[in-house]
Amino acid sequence: CQTIQQRFTNIRNIHPAVEWRFLQEAERRRWGLPPEIIVFEDVYPLYGICDIRGSSSERNRAIQTDLLTQFCLGLTIVETVCQIKDSAFCQQLRQDLLEYIKSLEAKVSVDSEITARDYLHLHLEIYFDYFVECGDAVKTAVEAYRAACSNEHHSVYQARDRYDQMLHKINYHLQNTWEKWQKQMQQIIPHHCDFEATDGIDHMMYLGKSINPKFSQFHLCSLRYEQLRAICDCARTILRLKAESEEVTLGVVHLILVQNSTIDIYHNESTERLFDVKGSRDIRYEIVKKRIDKGVDQETKERITQPGMLTVVYSTDEEWQEYQQYFRYLVREGWVEDKFESGLVEPLQGVSGLRFVRAKVLLPEEATSTK
């Protein structure tokens, strides 16, 4: 019984807005009542994402830069040995390194980090004890190699470290901005909010009467508009960051997915996720969520998301009529430019009929506020 209760009272990431239902179920089970699935019916999903554009490519370039630096340091060692020792084996080691460098210059794959590090260990570093006895010049080259690899990764890691720091800085500022707005949004009406930070941030909000009985249409409209303002502020945060910091070279794209119909969410005790969705209609929404950030304009074939712009994806005329009002408010407050771009989203796997509208996010100094 205690184990069952702990399942609900100690569950990770449980949001205060829905905690009451988990505590209620824990209490029921404590009294020996049969389990009930925790379900919140007819909730509105509000999904948004701030995605770092090109982060995977940038990391691959950082990996390539570091590996080439390390291999060139290794090549210097072997070439120095070859100048001192007449060794056919050493000449072949040199040729192998040259070929590996050529392959790294052409392409870096996902497993390049591990395979390249293993290669250097098995085909170069194991000979260092002998190499340092070949003369002072070789010893100096080996010391330079070891110094460059003197870190927790035991390899050249300068470019990747710069990349990691940039990613951390972007995520840190995005998260701080979002958390500030999320506190304000909870004041409108308590609602559940999932939040994740990886290559950028994404959030999933659920709100409805089953979560808070005071929920009304006004709360829904207020939160939808507040979500737009929050995403715009996240965009502003990154625009400022890029202007202030030369080391931040990547852009961030910002998207909100609209769905006017409600969904049902439930707690699946067999998974670590707090909530799953029920029914084919709701699963369609989950499919769109996972794929929409890669969506392209059906006509131009360009990505529907662009750095420094707010993109809203919707399905119906009714949804656009509502969000057209919000866009008018955003323009009035100086959040976005009053020039919109729109189009059809090229059908995703299993999903078609999506449309998008996007607008450039303005910094306060760029905007002429008419509030």
Contact (CB, 8 A) for 298 and 338:
no
Cα angle 113-165-171, degrees, rounded to a multiple of 5: 110
- Length of the chain in terms of residues written: 371
Compute CA distances 172 → 164, 289, 370, whole Å. 12, 23, 31
pLDDT (0 to 100) of residue 276: 63
Pull the structure tokens for residue 350.
């299993």
Contact (CB, 8 A) for 158 and 46:
no
Pull the structure tokens for residue 71.
């291999």
pLDDT (0 to 100) of residue 71: 98
Amino acid identity at 211:
I
pLDDT (0 to 100) of residue 5: 47
Q: Residues in the chain with pLDDT < 70?
A: 1-13, 20, 25, 35-36, 266-282, 368-371
| pTM listed for this prediction | 0.86
Residue 140 class from Cβ within 10 Å (0-12 exposed, 13-18 middle, 19+ buried)? middle
Contact (CB, 8 A) for 264 and 55:
no
203 phi and psi, to 5 degrees? -135, 150
Contacts of 324 (CB under 8 A, 6+ apart): none
pLDDT (0 to 100) of residue 239: 95
Q: What is the pLDDT of residues 282-315, one digit of tens each?
A: 677 777 888 888 899 999 999 999 999 999 999 9
What one-character-per-residue DSSP string does 39-93 give? EEEEEEEEEEEEEETTHHHHHHHHHHHHHHHHHHHHHHHHHHHHHHS--HHHHHH
pLDDT (0 to 100) of residue 18: 74
pLDDT (0 to 100) of residue 286: 75
Domain ranges of the chain: 2-55+162-361, 57-157
Contact (CB, 8 A) for 245 and 48:
no
Looking at the domain covering 2-55+162-361, what would its CATH class be?
alpha beta
